[in-house]
């Protein structure tokens, strides 16, 4: 499955497709989308990546944006695909919608520089 984040003008939110990258890669994508003011972010996965999609949603809501995200609706489905051998196979899929419940924090243009170290005596 392709690893990409998409959002179009007709969609009020974004979609993160779960693939083979580490969980934290997708967590950062979801958090960035939620912090950018995007509408609901939908985490989608198929087959063996379904567990990883659930992990992404749980890490976002319990470790990064605790108390700031609502989950739902969650949609499960079965897709019939043609495999490499030319036979039809059932592949499960999941879509998990995450919506920010608190206002997006204001963006700062620049981060203040750290204080200069004390001058050394000569």
Task: Give the residue, 39 or 106, on which the prediction is more confident.
Answer: 39
pLDDT confidence tier of residue 2, bands split at 50, 70 and 90: very low
pLDDT in tens, 85-103: 999 999 999 999 999 998 8
CA angle at residue 48 from 89 to 67, to 5 degrees? Answer: 130
For residues 95 and 44, the answer to whether their CB atoms sit within 8 Å is yes
**How confident is the model at residue 120, as a pLDDT?**
67
Q: Both tokens of residue 65? A: 């944006």
pLDDT in tens, 17-71: 999 999 999 999 999 999 988 789 999 999 999 999 999 999 999 999 999 999 9
For residues 41 and 16, the answer to whether their CB atoms sit within 8 Å is yes
What is the C-alpha to C-alpha distance for residues 9 and 69, in angstroms, rounded to an integer?
23
Please state the separation of Cα 16 from the chain's center in Å: 5
Residue 48 has a CB neighbour count (10 Å cut-off) of 12
What is the C-alpha to C-alpha distance for residues 74 and 64, in angstroms, rounded to an integer?
20
In the chain, what are the domains?
5-100 (3.30.110.20)
């Amino acid at each position: 499955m392709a690893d990409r984040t998409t959002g179009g003008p007709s969609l009020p939110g974004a979609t993160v497709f779960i693939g083979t990258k580490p969980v934290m890669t997708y967590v950062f994508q979801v958090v960035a989308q939620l912090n950018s003011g995007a509408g609901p972010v939908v985490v989608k996965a198929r087959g063996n990546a379904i567990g990883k999609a659930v992990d992404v949603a749980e890490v976002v809501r319990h470790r990064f944006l605790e108390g700031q995200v609502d989950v739902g609706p969650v949609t499960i489905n079965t897709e019939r695909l043609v495999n490499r051998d030319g036979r039809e196979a059932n592949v499960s899929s999941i879509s998990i919608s995450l919506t920010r419940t608190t206002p997006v924090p204001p963006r700062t243009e620049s981060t203040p520089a750290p204080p200069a170290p004390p001058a050394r005596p000569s």
